Structure 1
Amino acid sequence: MAEDPRKPGEIPEDVITDDCMDSYTHIYCPDLLKDQVAFITGGGSGIGFRIAEVFMRHGCDVAIASRNRERLTEASQKLSKATGRRCLPIVMDVRQPETITAAVEETLKELHRIDILINNAAGNFICPAAALSFNAFKTVMEIDTMGTFNTSKVVYEKWFKDHGGSIVNISATLGYKGQALQVHAGSAKAANDAMTRHLAVEWGPSGVRVNTVAPGPISGTEGYRRLGGSHAESGGAFRSIPLQRAGNKTEMAHAVLFLSSRAASYVTGSVLVADGGSWLTSANDMESLLGIISSRLAKL
């Protein structure tokens, strides 16, 4: 058997569930984000939850925002207990600017500042373009693209315009080569990548950096489940990825941490692809993807 070339500890700790890690190894100094405040959409679960945890473990207080009050409340209690930092749960809908305004104003009232905005809220599923309803396409665009713009604009107007800050959008590599069954999400994320560059240019003079992280298949997320990640993994599909595996949520949080922090103080308008090289080599396996849909329909 060939020796595993990876060094011990190279892959950071993670847990599949939306729970805090039992242990955490800092790759940056623990006070990298000391006394800063981050506003994270979709922060109650998945990648957003882990971003919140990693930020808090680096000295940051956070506001996590989504539509699900129960999930947010449970998440905020877990996060504060594990890290000793403050986590403010706020109910809002990224499609409704008035709820974003109220959420941002509440954050400023309770936490007094916003240094970092993470646009993580998203919606996705697999569906052939011919079967995709007009409303389904519109909904994904509203959440992923309009939601990113809406939240960025409100935070900019309420705080960043006068104080500067860092925005990191969570994207995907779906639109880079034309992914089957993903015209809705691929189109939305491609628009967000362009938005990153436009806002970086316009808001740079105000001291605002705008960047993007584009994850590949990430275990322990709703997207991983909905897009057939477990099916692909068991079928050996990840052997086509140069790093031979799915990523984990902590790895994505570390990428976001870098772009959000002073470690990336001269980085703006960039898209950091964090997918193990997947988009460079993975096949657009129509047969496998259509098989996932067929198996799901058979269970209905």
Structure 2
Amino acid sequence: MSSSRTAQKQREIQTQVERADKKKKPRSTGAMQAGARRYPEPPLPQVHQDKPGAEHELPLAPMYDAPFYKGSDKLKDKVALITGGDSGIGRSVAVLFAREGADVAIVHLDEAKDAEETKAAVAKEGRRCVVMKGDVKDPKFCRAAVEKTIKEFGHLDILVNNAAFQVHTQDIEDLSDEHFDETLKTNLYGYFYMAKAAVPHLKNGSAIINTGSVTGLEGSKELLDYSMTKGGIHAFTRALASQLVPKGIRVNAVAPGPVWTPLNPSDKQAEDVEKFGLQTPMKRAAQPEEIAPAYVFLASPQTSSYITGEILPIVGGY
């Protein structure tokens, strides 16, 4: 084919594309709904909470119980310790772990009512739940939490590091030393202390699952400190995974995008909460029950025995 014929062919292709571009495009159908049930879409309630946030006070209750999810003994007679297990992702993980046959210990900071609701939800699944109040920034508490879990249940198979502190700042100059310190010590020190306390009690086939974030993958201009910690959690996950391979302990992380939990209404202003999740391609935030099955997958040796050191993003289509 001569060069002139090639140029003509390229112009014809260009014309075809231009005609297609001018055609009326279908209107957006709004948020993507591909789950087993319909999930809330923006606008969400305009709500702002004091830290650490309370799930039972949210006007729109997070969907955590996954009624369509059927257990199949993937975690039969396992024992899991979950920090931040009182609400949000942690609560949903506790419920699905129980549905898969695990007993659960949960740690909360100061959300007693939420924690009791999680305990009741685990009991409804026919499994036991121990509730512990404490601060994961304290290594003594972390050791005590592991020890109490083992005292109550006899062993420990799964650690889920999920507790987190997040408050936005629009300017680095407004990020105080105290604020920065609280974020790093909760989100990084807390994960380290819990893992350090748990590892001596974990055996071949056990699992550690850390909660990362899309902010650790992409950064967030209003969450400098939080993004830093979540990126650090991803690196910690990969490094610890390499270290624990000889012991047969798998270490992975889930990196969620926006999820409707008390974490964000206790951070963002009410008008920003209303639009929460709208920036994702799916145009809505996830519900906790859409994230929790990933933790089951990574916890169970039946489903992820050859997976360690991985970061699993669940971010709504980025």
So what's the TM-score if we normalise by structure 1? 0.81
> Does the CA contact (< 8 Å) of 1:76 and 1:88 recur in 2?
no
Looking at structure 2, the residues matched to 106 and 85 of structure 1 have their Cα atoms a distance apart, in angstroms, of 17
What are the within-5 Å matches in structure 2 for residues 147-226 of structure 1?
147-157=190-200, 159-160=201-202, 162-219=203-260, 221-226=261-266
What SS does structure 1 have at the residue aligned with 2:165?
coil
Q: Of 265, 268, 274, which residue of structure 1 is paired with 2:314?
A: 274
Looking at structure 1, the residues matched to 35 and 142 of structure 2 have their Cα atoms a distance apart, in angstroms, of 43
Task: Report Cα offsets for 1:156-193 as digits up to 9, x if no partner.
Answer: 02x12x44510110011113333111111011111111
What SS does structure 2 have at the residue aligned with 1:54?
helix
What SS does structure 2 have at the residue aligned with 1:40?
strand
Stretch of structure 1 that moved more, 29-38 or 207-216: 29-38
Quote the offset at 1:43 in angstroms: 0.5
Q: Does 1:90 align with 2:132?
A: yes
- From the CA coordinates, give the structure whose radius of gyration is larger: 2
Quote the offset at 1:84 in angstroms: 1.7
Letter matched to residue 246 of structure 1: A
Q: Which residue of 2 aligns with 1:123?
A: 165
Percent same amino acid at aligned positions? 32
Alignment CA distance shift 1:163-1:75 (3 Å): farther
Q: Does 1:258 align with 2:297?
A: yes
> Does the CA contact (< 8 Å) of 2:277 and 2:284 recur in 1?
no
Letter matched to residue 186 of structure 2: I
Alignment CA distance shift 1:2-1:140 (3 Å): closer
Q: Of 97, 102, 107, which residue of structure 2 is paired with 1:60?
A: 102
What SS does structure 1 have at the residue aligned with 2:245?
helix
Structure richer in helix, relative to its length: 1
Looking at structure 1, the residues matched to 62 and 110 of structure 2 have their Cα atoms a distance apart, in angstroms, of 14
Q: Does 1:113 align with 2:140?
A: no
> Does the CA contact (< 8 Å) of 1:18 and 1:49 recur in 2?
no
User: Taking CA–CA contacts closer than 8 Å with sequence separation of 6 or more, which of the two structures ends up with the larger relative contact order?
Assistant: 2
Looking at structure 2, the residues matched to 96 and 233 of structure 1 have their Cα atoms a distance apart, in angstroms, of 31
Stretch of structure 1 that moved more, 169-178 or 108-117: 169-178
Q: Which residue of 2 aligns with 1:144?
A: 187
Looking at structure 1, the residues matched to 39 and 294 of structure 2 have their Cα atoms a distance apart, in angstroms, of 12
Letter matched to residue 192 of structure 1: I
Quote the offset at 1:267 in angstroms: 0.5
What are the within-5 Å matches in structure 2 for residues 18-97 of structure 1?
21=65, 24-26=67-69, 29-68=71-110, 70-71=112-113, 74-97=116-139
Looking at structure 1, the residues matched to 304 and 174 of structure 2 have their Cα atoms a distance apart, in angstroms, of 42
Looking at structure 2, the residues matched to 113 and 189 of structure 1 have their Cα atoms a distance apart, in angstroms, of 29
Letter matched to residue 264 of structure 2: Y
Looking at structure 2, the residues matched to 225 and 173 of structure 1 have their Cα atoms a distance apart, in angstroms, of 18
Q: Does 1:17 align with 2:44?
A: no
Cα RMSD, aligned residues only: 2.7
Looking at structure 2, the residues matched to 201 and 208 of structure 1 have their Cα atoms a distance apart, in angstroms, of 10
Task: Report Cα offsets for 1:42-101 as digits up to 9, x if no partner.
Answer: 111111111101111111110001232723652344223421210011223211111111
Tell me the matched-pair count. Answer: 271
Q: Of 285, 288, 295, which residue of structure 2 is paired with 1:246?
A: 285
Looking at structure 1, the residues matched to 133 and 207 of structure 2 have their Cα atoms a distance apart, in angstroms, of 22
Alignment CA distance shift 1:125-1:7 (3 Å): closer
Looking at structure 2, the residues matched to 164 and 214 of structure 1 have their Cα atoms a distance apart, in angstroms, of 22
Unaligned runs of 5+ in 2: 1-26, 41-54
Unaligned runs of 5+ in 1: 281-300
Letter matched to residue 77 of structure 2: D
Stretch of structure 1 that moved more, 88-97 or 191-200: 88-97
